Each structure stands twice: as structure tokens, then as C-alpha cells.
Structure 1
Amino acid sequence: MTTTLITGANKGLGFETARRLVAAGHTIYVGSRDAARGERAAEQLGARAVVLDVTDDTSVAAAVKTIEADGGLDVLINNAGISGFEGQSRDSAVIGAAAVTADLMRPIFDTNVFGVIRVTHAFLPLLLRSAAPVVVNVSSGLASLTRVTTPDTPTYAYMGVAYPASKAAVNMITVQYAKAFPGMRINAVEPGYTATDLNGHTGTQTVEEGAEIIVRMAQLTPDGPTGGYFDAAGVLPW
């Protein structure tokens, strides 16, 4: 039985990923900052709830103890993330270079970047005990320097700084962890522009479509790719 933890899994892409992996036979831990929401989601899914705030060391350490006591972990999906402007439209959420400040960027990096490091570091001992450990880091197409610098594309037109920068950092973290732990399958994925709270539900994809690549990469076998960057269609340019 494969045991999987998904951060930020009480709604959106995390919830849909959990639903699909439960159906595939995984034992799922629904990571949620809010205990009540996590419990409700877990009950709906036939999963287990664990309180987990990726910005809080104490919360993460407690989650490790809970999952270790239950038998360990095989797959970690670092899904929790924020744009910094949840609930707003895509256009109003874009803070460009002229207006962005360190104070605006700090909470986004704390969740999207430091949260990935915090959770991955804490769960490494459990993952390294697994026969087939997998880490999936949910990134974004906006993290691709190639795409962002290709004129006349939607990615080029996006002028925000904080969110793309945070996800570009996630891509680098993914590559460096994959090099450091060659026995693990560690990859970054781009779900696509999916309608979730992250973008005020302005996305053009459903969560079912967005979760496809996350689910696929969560089920990698030891001979699968590692240190890569993928969307549902295949390999993405860095």
C-alpha cells in the first residue's frame, strides 16, 4: 500500500488529486491548516486528516510524528501554495516590477518556497525508508524562463513578479533535491491555468484536468524520470 501526503489538500487541486489517488489505492493524508476543513475533506474522500501548516515548524514536526507512527510515507506532494491575492481576479492579482516590494513577496515565498523546503526536509527520513519514494512539487508554467521570455504568448504577457519568482525557485529546489537523492523520483509539475481559489476561479481548466499531471507523477515507479519539469503534454522548457 502506497502512503501519500498532500499539502493543501482540503480543496482545489489538492482535493482532486487526493480523490484520484484514493481511487488508485493510495492511503492519503489530507494536509490542511484548518483541522475542521481537513477532517471534512478526509471524510468525503475516505482519507486521513493531518493538521499541517507549511509555514510553521511545529505543525510540520507534529505531522511527521503522526504519519511516522502510522507506518511511514512513500509519496509527498507539495501542493500548498498562494498567489498572495487569493479571491481576486487574475488581472488585479498581478503586482508588477514597479509596485512589488520585499514585504509583498515575503509571505508568498514563505509558503511556496520555504514551505516546500520545510516539509520536504522534515519528511526526508520517512521517504528515505520507502522502497519507492516520490516527491511531486506543484510548480507553474509561469516558472519557465523560456516561456516568460517568448513574446506574443500569455506567459510573456503576465507581468507579476512574486508568484512566478517563487515557482522558479521551486523548480531549482526540485532539480537540486533530485541530484542529491538519486534514489528518489523528484519532479516539478505544471497543472495549467486551473480554476481554483489561487486565481479567483478565473482559470480555464477544471480541477480534474489540472490534477492529471500531479496524479501521474505521484505514481512513478523507481525507473521513472527525476529532476524534471512536466505538464500533461510532456516535458517543459526551463
Structure 2
Amino acid sequence: MTTALITGANKGLGFETARRLIEAGHTVYVGARDAHAGRAAAGRLGSRARFVRLDVTDEDSVKAAAEFVRTDAGGHLDVLVNNAGIAGAGKLGRVGDVTGTDMRNTYDTNVFGAVRVTHAFLPLLEAAGAPVVVNVSSGLGSLAATNDPDRLESRVTMLDYNSSKTALVMVTSQYAKAYPALRFNAVDPGYTATALNGHRGTQSVEEGAEVIVRMALIGSDGPTGGFFDKDGPAAW
């Protein structure tokens, strides 16, 4: 069977990505740190969804999830979507108020979490035929977008969140160079209405998930080490 794991899949972009990958024929492991929410989401997604408890900030939780998927999926994983993320300390426009603790907390989920999960699942990905990893970044992590006065991103200043999404793109690039047999890409879903932004985004989760799903479904001849949005290669 073709398998995918999505972190933070119980709602928002993660849930919609799971729904679409199931439509495309995947069996999807619904990663969620809240067991009740994760099981409920898997139930709504149907028989091709499997809940797996996964807290990306907890090494033991990540290792246990990898062991569960290894056993349940027959030793391989075709697609990993590192979607789980937090908005950070919420100190919008107050760069000087952001502390080292704020930075560490945000990076622990948005950057270190993606690395923890990728590290744990690499053996399963390498055992797949055409493995793909999609890291959900943001236009707020783009130097080009955040310095373009014509773009919304230039008006959003958040030291911890924005820089964490920049770091995630470089993490993606480094994995792509180290593992040329895998397809590693980062994506910008755009300003999507989710719980992360209090549902203030200007596009739907269906629109936001489009680029995540598209990059999750690439084959072994697809791009790697890139950063993409709905229109193609993203400004960087």
C-alpha cells in the first residue's frame, strides 16, 4: 500500500491534506499529539486513515510513532508531511520583546520537531520506492517576500515564527543534498484561514493544501531541495 504520515493532521491544512491524499489512494497516518482529536479526525477521514499519537516536541513520542508505522505499514513510508507548527509567542511587531525562551519554544516545534520526525522516519522512507518529504514553511520565511512592499509578508514582523520558517527551508535544502534518492521540498501554502492565525487567513484550507498535496504526489523524477507555492518556485 502507498502510505503517508502527516504531523498535525487532526485539523486545518493537515486534515485537508490527509483527506486529499486518501482520495489519491494513500493510506494516511494521522499524526496528532491530542489522542482524542487525532482519533476523531481519523474517524472522519474513513477506513484509509490511521491515528498515531505524535508530539513532535517529544523524542520518545516520535520514536514510538515511527515504530508503530514501521510495524503497521510493513516497514516503509512513501510520504512524510511535516505540517505541525505553532504561531510562536505572538509578539507581532515587537521584535525587541522576543526572548531566547520564546525562540527556543517556537523552534522546538517548527524546526526541531521537523528534524526529530524526519530523523526517526528516514529508515522507513529509504525503504520506499519513491519517497517524498514535504516541509510546510511559509512566505513569512522568505527574504524576498518579506522585503517586497507589495506583498503582505512585508507587513508581518514576528521574529520567532518568521525565522523558524526560514530555517525550515534551509533544513529542507540540506536534507535534499544529503539524500538524493529522496525528494525533499518546502512549501508555502499562503495565508490560509486556520487556527494558527485565528482563522483570519484570506484563503480556504482547500486552497492552502493545494501545493502541499501537489508536492506530496511528485514522483522520483520530481524536483528536490526547492521551495514552492501555488504558482511554482517561491520567492526566496
Q: Show the 5 A alignment for 1:122-201.
A: 122-201=120-199
How far the C-alpha of 1:17 sits from its partner, in A, is 0.4
**What's the offset of the Cα at 1:236?**
0.9
Query: 2:108, 2:204 → 1: CA distance?
Result: 27
CA positional deviation for 1:130: 0.5
- Matched letter for residue 82 of structure 1: I
* Corresponding letter in the other structure for 2:178: A
Tell me whether 1:83 sits opposite 2:80 in the alignment. Answer: no
Structure 2: 5+ residue runs without aligned partners?
none
Q: Is the partner of 1:146 in helix, strand or coil? A: helix
CA distance in 2, matches of 1:194, 1:113: 20
Alignment of 1:73 with 2:77, yes or no, is yes
Secondary structure, counterpart of 2:190 in structure 1: coil
- Alignment partner of 1:51 is 2:53: yes
Deviating above 6 A after TM superposition, structure 1's stretches of 4 or more consecutive aligned residues are none
Q: Secondary structure at the match of 2:135?
A: strand
Q: CA deviation at 1:147?
A: 1.3
Looking at structure 2, the residues matched to 95 and 130 of structure 1 have their Cα atoms a distance apart, in angstroms, of 44
Residue of structure 2 equivalent to 1:116: 114
- Partner AA of 2:128 in structure 1: S
Structure 1 position 199, deviation (Å)? 0.4
Q: Quick one: which amino acid aligns to residue 124 of structure 1?
A: L
1:95 Cα shift? Answer: 4.6
State the SS of the aligned residue for 2:30: strand
Structure 2 vs 1, CA of residues 107 and 83 (structure 1 numbering), >3 Å: closer, same or farther? same
Q: Structure 2: how far apart are the matches of 1:200 and 1:105?
A: 21
**1:84 to partner: Cα distance:** 2.1
RMSD: 1.1
1:39 maps to 2:39: yes
Find the aligned partners of 1:95 and 1:237 in 2 and give their Cα distance: 22
Residue of structure 2 in register with 1:89 after alignment? none
Q: State the SS of the aligned residue for 1:98.
A: helix
Question: Given the two structures, how large is their TM-score scaled by the length of structure 2?
Answer: 0.96
| 2:210 equivalent to 1:208 | no
Kindly state the Cα deviation for residue 48 of structure 1 after the two structures are TM-superposed. Answer: 0.4
Question: What is aligned with 2:218?
Answer: 220
- Quote the Cα distance in structure 2 between the aligned partners of 1:93 and 1:40: 32
**How far apart in 2 are the matches of 1:237 and 1:188?**
12
Q: Secondary structure at the match of 1:121?
A: helix
Query: What amino acid is aligned across from residue 127 of structure 2 in structure 1?
Result: R
Shift of 1:99: 1.4
User: Structure 1 CA distance, aligned partners of 2:169 and 2:179?
Assistant: 15
**1:17 matched to 2:21:** no
Return the alpha-carbon distance in structure 2 between the equivalents of residues 61 and 163 of structure 1. Answer: 26
CA shift for structure 1 position 97: 1.7
